[in-house]
Structure 1
Amino acid sequence: MKLLHRQIFKELAGIFTISLSGFMGLILIGRILQFRELFMTQSLTALEMGKLFLYLCPFFLLVLTPIATMLSIFLTFLRMSSDNEITALKSGGLSLYRMIPAPLVFCILCTLADVFFSMYGLSWGTENFRKALVDFAKTKSQLAIQPGVFNTDFPGLVFYADKVDKDTSRMHSVFVRDSTRKGITATIVAPFGEILTDAKNGRLMIHLEDGRIYQQQKEQLSVLKFRNYNVRIPLSDLLQGYSVDEPRPKEMGWDKLLSVQRQGLSSGHDGRFLRKVSVEIQKRMSLPVACLVLGMFAMPIACIFRGLKQQYGLIISMGLFLVYYTMLSLGISLGESGSVSPVIGLWVPNIVFAAAAVVFLRLAVRETTLRVKIRLPKLRRRTA
């Protein structure tokens, strides 16, 4: 039995690795196309692009791990069923129940890995991704502000610095014209300035010291002195529309989500945002459990569809996961709109597939099989 479980586990791990790598490759290619303008404008190196993709990996692994788990178990037991290995094992006195430990342990390990992505990996990735983008924007801004040149790269802002220290990036004799606010134009003059970043809040700003603000609104002109003043640079324009403002619920860490939910309306967020937070919390708990549910659902399904070729098995397994994901997406939409409780919307798919797994496992033990034959229609020519 140890040898049998070891071989099953080895095959499961191999298919899981290949399928997960393939899905990740396709998604990363799509992300390259999505961020192509960002990469080109920021002039990122291959190493910097690789770091950004590494930070995005936990976000995708949270969703891809359940489907890779389901696919690996389905294809493994479909092959064993098609090659009559399961029949041979049953003739030797081994029931299907005695083959469960290997896929069960495999599903538990995948569930634990997905829990790690959900609780820790996702927040680590999003925080570092935002920080990296802000750092790239800061570097570009420092390069854009050349001494003795009026810079107009940022919409609504004009920068000028008489001198720029290359080592510290500290600017001398700074002039800023700010027309980002409607109906108000502010001209700021300061002897010193520098570029600062606030990665936590996704902000990039020009920090000015000991200057004056000449603010014009209609026909009124006011002059203000300041000790310290920050001019915020619009990062959405600098980063080709990618927003690094306040994190959305799906970008928040686990502790942050729980904190916002406990505070409720006192956190300063509206009801819709709080519903999204509740949905995100349930999603991060239900998706890891989906590894166990879908994996144990795939095992009897593969035994029932006996004689099915691997390529068709791949299509069927993807279709079954599409059914699960459609139910999950519907639950997310209903939960965010307030039509149903997030607990119901996010956990119904797991409950339905868990119940189906029990039913199909009994059918598989009774050796109830569905022989599927897929044939291409033949075209016949009729002669007159």
Structure 2
Amino acid sequence: MKLLHRQIFKELSTIFTLSLSGFMGLILIGRLLQFRELFMTQSLSALEMGKLFLYLCPFFLLVLTPIATMLSIFLTFLRMSSDNEITALKSGGLSLYRMIPAPLVFCLICTLADVFFSMYGLSWGTENFRKALMDIARTKSQLAIQPGVFNTDFPGLVFYAEEVDDKTSRMRSVFVRDSTRKGMTATIVAPRGEIRTDSKNGRLLIHLEDGRIYQQEKQQLGVLKFSNYDVRIPLADILKGYDVDDPRPKEMAWKKLVRISRAKDRAQGLDERFLRKVDVEIQKRLALPVACLVLGMFAMPIACIFRGLKQQYGLIISMGLFLVYYTMLSLGITFGESGTLSPVVGLWTPNIIFAAAFGFMLRLAVKEKSLRFKIRLPKLRRRSA
């Protein structure tokens, strides 16, 4: 039995690795095409691009791990069934129940890995991805603001600095003309300034000290004196549409989601829809890791029932079953965010349905009942002239 479980586990691991690598490769190629304008305009190196993709991996692994788990178990037991290995094992006195430990342990390992992606990996990747984009934006801004040159690279803003230190980002004799606000133009003059990044709020700032603001609105002119003043540079313009403002619920750390959810009765200034999204995200972070266990174990009896099926057809069936699961999950997310359905009900119903289907299919597989489909084509009759 140890040898049997070891061989099954080895085959599961191999198919899982190949499946997950293939899915990740396809997604990263798609992201590369999506970010192509950003990469081309910023002249990023291969190492910097690799870091950005690495930071995005936990976000995709959270969804891809369940499907890779399901696919690996389905294809493994489908091959064993097609090669009559399961029949040979049954003739030797081993029932299907005794083959469960290997896929069960494999599913539990995948579940724990997905829990790690959900609780820690996703927030780590999102935070570092935002920081990397901030560094890119800061570098671009430092290159754009040249000493003694009026810079107009940022829509609605004109920058000028008499001196710029590339190492410390400090500037002297700074002039800024801000016309981003409708109906008002502000001219800011300061003896000192500095380029700063606020990665927490996703902002790039031009920090000015001991200067004056000349505001012109219609026919009125006002003068304000300040000690410290920040001019925000629109990151969407620098990063070609990729803004990094306040993180959305799906990008937040687990602790922050729980803190917002528990304090929602006392939360001030938070939209009700935003709070519903937080509750939905919490349930999704819990439901997807459990899906590794549910879908993986569901795939085992399904593969035995569809014995004799070719591998390519098995791949189509497993992908179709996961599509059914993901469609149900997406509907639960939509209904939960709109307030039509409780997030607990919407996000956990797919797991409950597939868990119940696993019990039913396992009984059919143990009784050696299979599902066979016949396609009948209508017969064509010749009509006599």
TM-score scaled to structure 2, two decimals? 0.96
1:172 is paired with a residue whose SS is: strand
Correspondence 1:234 to 2:234? yes
Alpha-carbon deviation of 1:372?
A: 5.0
Match of 1:258 in 2: 258
CA offsets per residue over residues 299-345 of structure 1, 9 Å max, x none? 00000001000000000000000000000000000000000100000
Correspondence 1:163 to 2:188? no
* Paired letter, 1:23: F
* Paired letter, 2:212: R
Partners of 2:67 and 2:243 lie apart in 1 by 29
Alpha-carbon deviation of 1:371?
A: 3.8
Correspondence 1:295 to 2:296? yes
Partners of 2:374 and 2:236 lie apart in 1 by 54
Partners of 2:167 and 2:12 lie apart in 1 by 54
Alpha-carbon deviation of 1:287?
A: 0.2
Correspondence 1:355 to 2:356? yes
Could you say if the C-alpha distance between residues 53 and 295 of structure 1 is closer, same or farther in structure 2, counting changes exceeding 3 Å? Answer: same
CA offsets per residue over residues 327-384 of structure 1, 9 Å max, x none? 000000000000010000000000000000000000000000124578999x9xxxx9
Q: Is the 8 A contact 2:146 2:161 kept in 1?
A: yes
Partners of 1:202 and 1:265 lie apart in 2 by 27
Partners of 1:129 and 1:90 lie apart in 2 by 51
Q: Is the 8 A contact 1:152 1:159 kept in 2?
A: yes
The CA RMSD over aligned residues, in Å, is 1.9
Partners of 2:105 and 2:164 lie apart in 1 by 61
Partners of 2:219 and 2:108 lie apart in 1 by 70
Partners of 1:26 and 1:376 lie apart in 2 by 37
Q: 5 Å matches for 1:277-356?
A: 277-356=278-357
Correspondence 1:105 to 2:105? yes
1:243 is paired with a residue whose SS is: coil
Match of 1:116 in 2: 116
Q: 5 Å matches for 1:35-114?
A: 35-114=35-114
Match of 1:365 in 2: 366
Could you say if the C-alpha distance between residues 302 and 227 of structure 1 is closer, same or farther in structure 2, counting changes exceeding 3 Å? Answer: same
1:331 is paired with a residue whose SS is: helix
TM-score scaled to structure 1, two decimals? 0.97
Match of 1:146 in 2: 146
Alpha-carbon deviation of 1:14?
A: 0.1
Partners of 1:354 and 1:368 lie apart in 2 by 19
Partners of 1:225 and 1:372 lie apart in 2 by 81
Alpha-carbon deviation of 1:197?
A: 0.2
Gaps of 5+ in 2: none
Match of 1:202 in 2: 202
* Paired letter, 1:285: L
What is the count of residue pairs matched by the alignment? 383
Partners of 1:146 and 1:345 lie apart in 2 by 54
1:266 is paired with a residue whose SS is: coil
Partners of 1:277 and 1:240 lie apart in 2 by 28
Match of 1:269 in 2: 270
Q: Which moved more, 1:122-131 or 1:266-275?
A: 266-275
Q: 5 Å matches for 1:175-194?
A: 175-194=175-194
Partners of 1:57 and 1:376 lie apart in 2 by 47
Partners of 1:64 and 1:375 lie apart in 2 by 37
Alpha-carbon deviation of 1:237?
A: 1.4
2:241 is paired with a residue whose SS is: coil
Partners of 1:372 and 1:95 lie apart in 2 by 26
Q: Is the 8 A contact 2:191 2:209 kept in 1?
A: yes
Q: Is the 8 A contact 2:176 2:188 kept in 1?
A: yes
* Paired letter, 1:216: Q
Partners of 2:176 and 2:358 lie apart in 1 by 66
Alpha-carbon deviation of 1:42?
A: 1.4
Q: Is the 8 A contact 1:120 1:254 kept in 2?
A: yes
* Paired letter, 2:141: S
Alpha-carbon deviation of 1:297?
A: 0.3
* Paired letter, 1:192: R
Alpha-carbon deviation of 1:164?
A: 1.1
* Paired letter, 1:28: L
Q: Which moved more, 1:71-80 or 1:148-157?
A: 148-157
Partners of 1:141 and 1:119 lie apart in 2 by 34
Q: 5 Å matches for 1:131-142?
A: 131-142=131-142
Q: Is the 8 A contact 2:142 2:166 kept in 1?
A: no
Partners of 2:95 and 2:258 lie apart in 1 by 45
1:264 is paired with a residue whose SS is: coil
